[in-house]
Amino acid sequence: MLPVRIERIVSLAPNLTEIVYAVGAGDRLVGNTDYCDYPAEAKQLAKIGDTMHPSVERIIALKPQIVLVSTASQLEAFTKQLGQQSIAVYVTNPGGLEEMFSSMTAFGEMFETSAEAARATGDLRKRSDAIATALRGVPPVSVFYQVAGEPLYTIGREAYLTDLVKRAGGISVTADVPDAFPRYSDEAALSAKPEAIILPTGGSMGNANSAVASPLRDSPAVRNNRVYKINDDFLSRPGPRLVDGLEALAHALHPEAFK
């Protein structure tokens, strides 16, 4: 680990930005991406581009001691350039609730805010445990999670969202499909007959993905009016608000369990 206290942090992903704030190190964040919009203070920071195309020049100009990265896509050249400026790079890409908690703990240690990180993690765990308790013994609802409608994308075996849906008392009808976000066949979607459909939309997605894809329009979910729009920022960013996503999913799928 680094020998000195970290005072200047740059985050290259919205979920990592949210984790930094959650563990109480937000005041030491000096730069983040165009998409980092939560909490509100994050919007005021210097912007370095987006996750996939960060501006190395701007990052260096911000003189961070550490850069938090969620994707390894351009890591090699990128790390080398930052290394030459004695800037450390920390890669973490939490895949799901448990890994997100681990990232929070790791950030707490790294930024020397372990107590606050533990408190925040504990609160979030309590909320997710409460969901588990409320749903104990409740039969699961079959769910189609529509990542995008045209063309149709869903969640597959490797997506942490498949696990999140399960924790929320659902069972994704595409849980066994290989890949994290498979391009899904229209025919298979028509045959899937989910009891509920989740549309992640809103937040930084705007009103994209707010309509059910055409092969699903005759599904039991649509006929029984069980289509739920959930803020995509809760679900697609594996950060502290994943628990908000879990709660929203659970309340949508099992309103009877939360009366």
Q: Is 37 in the site for another protein (CB under 8 A)?
A: no
Helix (H, G, I), strand (E, B) or coil at 104: helix
Q: Is 186 in the site for another protein (CB under 8 A)?
A: yes
15 in Cβ contact with 38 (< 8 Å): no
> Site for another protein (CB under 8 A): which residue of 88, 91, 106, 148?
148
Residue 228 neighbours by CB distance under 10 Å: 16
What's the min distance (Å) between Cβ of 34 and another protein? 10
What's the min distance (Å) between Cβ of 187 and another protein? 4
Ramachandran assignment for 29, one of left (phi > 0), alpha (psi -120 to 50 degrees), beta (any other): beta
Q: Is 14 in the site for another protein (CB under 8 A)?
A: no
173 in Cβ contact with 188 (< 8 Å): no
Structural tokens at position 93: 């890409």
The nearer residue to another protein, 21 or 153, going by C-beta atoms, is 153
Q: Is 112 in the site for another protein (CB under 8 A)?
A: no
* Span of 4-12, 101-109, 121-129, 199-207 interacting with another protein by CB under 8 A: 199-207
201 in Cβ contact with 210 (< 8 Å): yes
Helix (H, G, I), strand (E, B) or coil at 20: helix
Site size with another protein, rule: CB under 8 A: 29
Q: Is 184 in the site for another protein (CB under 8 A)?
A: yes
* Span of 73-81, 103-111, 200-208, 247-255 interacting with another protein by CB under 8 A: 200-208
29 in Cβ contact with 46 (< 8 Å): no
What's the min distance (Å) between Cβ of 29 and another protein? 22
Report which of 116, 95, 221 is spatially closest to residue 164, judged by C-alpha positions: 95
For residue 225, give the amino acid letter: N
Interaction site with another protein (CB under 8 A): 53, 148, 150-153, 156, 174, 177-179, 182-188, 190-191, 204-206, 208-209, 213-215, 218
